[in-house]
Structure 1
Amino acid sequence: MIPEYLLAKIEKSDVIYRCIGNEMKNGILACGFMRKETADRSQYHFSNEYYSCFVLLRGSGEYIAEDGTSYPLQAGSLVQRLPGVPHSTRVDPDGKWLEFFISIGKPFFDSFCSLSVLNREPVLKAELLPGDLERYQKILQSLKATPDSLLPLRIPEMEKEILRMYGYHAHRVNLQRDPIEAACDMLSQNLDEEISLEELARSLQIGYETFRKVFKKQTGVSPARYRTRKKMEQARILLEGGVPMKEIAGLVGYGDVYAFSKQFSRFFGFPPGKYRARLHTDAPDLEQF
């Protein structure tokens, strides 16, 4: 769960609604934190033309389907508002309700449905982790800052977060697999994001010190070193592809070019700029790096 002291810092609603094109039904991209402190913030017989979902971070209430079926809501409830489906959401008036929502256009929802990715049940259970709140804030700020002409670039980010809410993320593992093999897979994913090795060990149901020792014994390197290696391997590919240095830094999880360049130099013995320059010369075999 997300610690209460972090949730308490969100003192008011903070949302953004954007649209690709002119039709909200098809082009909406929206997200944000919504506080609902009183019963009059409840919504009855409500429906959207587009897809929206929210995860309840704090508080409680009730979802009432069109046929009268009632679903209790509490922290961790994932509520879906399917296009064109009437429903009611009742808020318990204790001042605690805080949700993070995402809305996307109906065509994007339809593409999920065509792949049988989304469960159409109106209320599901999301797994809330301490790092989720910071990621939600980054998504919100990113959508606010994106120029209209670049809004389509936000679509994958929004879709990815919806899938994450569904449990398609690194912390869900198949415990029938070798745990170190599963850890290697997880450490190779989402290289732009912070990952807690302690949380990773817990998800594998292994104590952290045991996990670290067994991982190093099987792979020859520590979990942290393994992840850094994956980041640097990805950075090499991006450098060879001509991706701008600042963009590469972000894609492999560094806040600025200086931090990325320092790590790259430490890992390979050459700064990334020199590595890229050698790609266009008759320098010795680059495989040494």
Structure 2
Amino acid sequence: MEPGASLRYGPRMKLTKPPSSAAHHFGDYLREWRQRRRLSQLDLALEAEISTRHLSFLETGRSQPSREMVQLLAEKLDMPLRERNVMLASAGFAPVYSERTLDDPALKSMRDAIDLVLRGHEPYPALAVDRHWSLVAANSALLSLVEGVDPALLKPPVNVLRLSVHPAGLARRIVNFVEWRDHLIQRLHHQVNVTGDAALSSLCEELRAYPIPDAARRPARTREDHAGLVVPLQLATDEGVLTFFSTTTIFGTPVDVTLSELAIEAFFPADPETAGALRRMAEKRQAAAGA
């Protein structure tokens, strides 16, 4: 990840095998997701407009679902597309949602859209990540902020959460480390609850286990009251302490598993000082590139 680069795509995203839960009986899988959503049989039956008796028979295996019923229940349970494919497989049906790699020609327009958003966000940092928070692409503003971290953390696939809170990553430069780490863990915990992803659960535990840098044990620098609306990221740089807030963008109504799991994290300056510093950093990058 050279500082002069504008965008970097991660390694080829390979098709993955269905989770082990694909071998489960459909009824067991259905019950697991109903309970994860904290719904009773009556709740789900009302949502799907079927009888509680029929739903009970589906869960116990006394009735076999049609493809349409599987898709209906998956929709009412708000399951990720990847898990909907698994549920279909558990009922004996072929997957409905495709899963292409990002270098597939069919996704070129999507890659172009990601590039356009990331470049258009400069001089502010932005990145695209997959479902496990592995870096897919980033703009040059973000790449300049990660200079000086352990090169091992920048070897693909780069996990941006690990990069943020690892002792050899950005941790020692995050002024409000505890606040930011807890914010990331909270987001990750919510994602685990929504998706049931075991890899994300393991990542969450890993982040919790990292030590707090000595510098982060001091009170965070207070620059502006954000009224509890956002959790800022305060990052120490050669330009001083930069303060950001972030937004997340996802593709609307995707029907491809890969696209449904992509997210763009865009960082905005939380104060005029940060905005000015980012513009100066961009000018330095442009000058270096033209030298």
Superposition TM-score, scaled by structure 2 size: 0.26
Higher fraction of strand: 1
More helix by share: 2
Which protein has greater RCO, CA pairs closer than 8 Å, 6+ apart?
2
The TM-score normalised by the length of structure 1 is 0.26
